[in-house]
Structure 1
Amino acid sequence: MSTFHAIVWIDQSEAHVLMFDREHMQAQRIKSRTHHKHQGKAEDSAAFFADVARALAGTHEVLLTGPGLVRNQFRDWCSSHLPSVADSVVDSVAADHPSDGQLVALARQYFKKFDNMTADPSTA
């Protein structure tokens, strides 16, 4: 699904990728291959981040959310390995464990303000 906006909630064990436009929303849950919080290997994180980045292909603007530092580590990984995905990330904000509905509401509110600030003609 090629969409204009996405929100990603990510922690060390999974990512919720929610892509949406005005009429549609598609949700995907991606599990990390690491099962223990502090025993993850770099290659496990890289594989997890690659899976999440692939899910974002074709998305123009991405809002990253989640607890801790994983969202920033994902953004850094994308900068090094998939700059096109990193370039689509517009912000990174802390969020504990919201439901998918709460994530979409947060994203719609965020992108409404963001698009108004950037005068994006695609949302007019």
Structure 2
Amino acid sequence: MSIPNEALQKLVQEIESQAVQAQQQINVVKSQIAVKQREIRMLQLTSSEVSTLPKDTTVYEGVGKMFVFSPMAEVDKRLTTETSELNSDVENLGKKLLYLETTHRNSREHIDQIFSGGRA
């Protein structure tokens, strides 16, 4: 059973658009991962600097254009919470990236199969 050229061409276009869309999303997810990892690194550096300070040190956090007193324990808790949230975000983005890469690879393989004469 042979597929008409028009239907085959439409199928290839749909698969190609899916591959292009997956590639674009892969680039977006990779940049999101890079941003999150940069934020994690900044939080880790801040946490390591804060941990070297004596416990009775007065700590201020920036809020808009002003600085507000924050107890050392709250600052440390906030840094830990934000780091764990960002690590979770990076893990979820990694899963999404794996899915998109698989989708892209499968789309390319289907196009190759169509052009090589085998049917997908």
TM-score, with structure 2 as normaliser = 0.22
Q: Which of the pair is proportionally richer in helix?
A: 2
More RCO (CA 8 Å, sep 6+): 2
Larger Rg: 2
Q: Which of the pair is proportionally richer in strand?
A: 1
TM-score, with structure 1 as normaliser = 0.22
